[in-house]
Amino acid sequence: MGNVERALFPEMYDENGGDGILPWQVIKRMVAAGRISASPDVLDSQIQPASIDLRLGPKAFRVQGSFLKGRSATLLTRVRELTDDTVDLTQPTPSLLERGVVYIIPLLERLNLPSDVYGVANPKSTTGRLDIFTRLITECGDEFDRVPQHYSGELYLEVSSRTFPIRAKAGMTLNQLRFVRGNPENPKVLRNNALRDLAKDHPLIYAPDGRPSMEHIGDGVEITVDLAGLDHTIVAYKAKAKESQRAIELDKNNHYDPTAYWEAIPVPRSGYIILETNGFYLLASKGKVSVPLTHAAEMVAYDASMGEFRVHYAGFFDPGFGYGANGEIQGTKAVLEVRAYEVPILLEDGHVVGRLNYYPMASAPKRVYGTSIGSSYQQQGLALSKQFKRPDRTQQEAILTSREVPQAC
């Protein structure tokens, strides 16, 4: 389509923009042109360097199970057939979403995409760190978290909190959507030599000693787990699912006592920990990740043969993560959200647990990831979600002494 699309939809292009993930300034123009619309209007604060946060609508439908509607009926018709109850999200006090229950929530935003742009969704970082599973659904869609080219219609979110009961209300954001210009069957991703060339100009991962590293760069950037406690005496947090009955209100920041919800795991003398079946863990990467402004990145599972566990629910890294506006930040640790399935898994220090794929931006964003736009995790270590109080070293020791199981020998 090329020049024809550029002439018909000038709001979708920067002067020097090409294929790739659309940046902040293009998303902002899409909103102004009505390509992304909502009632109430989309807020500037929703627009991130390479994505947009999507807001919950006024109702949550409690359904009997997860599903994709396909083309058999309108989505809300099928939702109502499977609905056990409806939750009003407009109450002054955030409404309870029960643990282990599936909800379908119509979102406030709707789309009208041109023929050369598609969408890809992910949970937000805070959502993933609370073990809240979300998946975007479109009308007539046959795939979660994907919006096809030329899509025009409403958006819906499947929400299931796996560990904690939560309280939510209309207008909250649990997931984000990025827009990509190009062929959805063959998305651009940097591999091997191309990735190494990028790393020569802009280091993509820093070793524990602070030096740029090329060791783990090949078919993506390999992410290894830190169980040696390079920056902390705590190397992991394990959710206390059964013990915690108090719901977490998602709009409360720096509020909850971590010891009521999390078991802290100190540096293991053995060099490994055991991931319990269906346990939910937060761990940190050994290296520090950096994403230059010309690219964005996504965490994917490294190799299914390693064992049945899921790593990183919220796998999208905005341009500028661990990089800053001008490369002034020398990497940021990735926090890994891990759940083991089927059988317990032995996880050793330095174990490769994921791969970071890098994708080109259509053009560099004019707004970058960082605290200036409210980003919570730019220079994080092993950090819980923003709803929990940030422990100092004395409090970390208190968290460790609250553990109910002894440290491994």
The string of pLDDT tens digits covering residues 213-257 is 998 899 899 999 999 987 678 999 999 976 667 899 999 999 999
Is residue 360 one of the residues assigned to a domain? yes
pLDDT tens digits, one per residue of 317-353:
999 999 998 889 999 999 998 888 778 889 999 998 8
Are 135 and 279 contained in the same domain?
no
Among 1-15, 73-87, 187-201, 348-362, the range scoring the smallest mean pLDDT is 1-15
Per the listing, tokens 């991962």 go with: 205
**For 43-183, where are the E strands, in sequence order?**
52-55, 59-63, 83-88, 95-97, 102-112, 117-123, 132-138, 146-147, 152-161, 166-168, 173-181
Domain containing 100 equals 3-181
Residue 371 has pLDDT above 60, yes or no: no
Are 173 and 29 contained in the same domain?
yes
- Cα 250 to Cα 156: distance, rounded to the nearest angstrom: 19
Which of 138, 154, 181 delimits the end of a domain? 181
Report the pLDDT value the prediction gives residue 18, as an integer from 0 to 100.
Answer: 85
Task: State which amino acid sits at residue 98.
Answer: E
Report, as an integer, the average pLDDT of 369-392.
70
32 dihedral zone (left: phi>0; alpha: psi -120 to 50; beta): alpha
Are 233 and 267 contained in the same domain?
yes
Are 151 and 229 contained in the same domain?
no
pTM above 0.85, yes or no: yes
Is residue 187 one of the residues assigned to a domain? no
Are 129 and 86 contained in the same domain?
yes
Residue 21, classed as helix, strand or coil, is strand
Report, as an integer, the average pLDDT of 157-184.
95
Are 290 and 372 contained in the same domain?
yes
Which of 134, 150, 181 delimits the end of a domain? 181
Q: Which residues lie below 8 Å from residue 208, measured CB to CB, with a gap of 6+?
A: 226, 230, 286, 287
Domain count, the chain: 2
Residue 64 has pLDDT above 90, yes or no: no
CA 255, 231, 259, 125 dihedral sign is: positive
Per the listing, tokens 């619309």 go with: 37
Report the pLDDT value the prediction gives residue 343, as an integer from 0 to 100.
Answer: 84
Are 139 and 215 contained in the same domain?
no
Q: Do 49 and 369 touch, CB atoms closer than 8 A?
A: yes
- CATH number assigned to the domain comprising residue 111: 2.70.40.10
Report the pLDDT value the prediction gives residue 5, as an integer from 0 to 100.
Answer: 58
Q: Do 162 and 100 touch, CB atoms closer than 8 A?
A: yes
Is residue 155 one of the residues assigned to a domain? yes
Is residue 346 one of the residues assigned to a domain? yes
CA-based R_g, the chain, Å: 21
Are 135 and 219 contained in the same domain?
no
Are 177 and 33 contained in the same domain?
yes
Are 212 and 171 contained in the same domain?
no
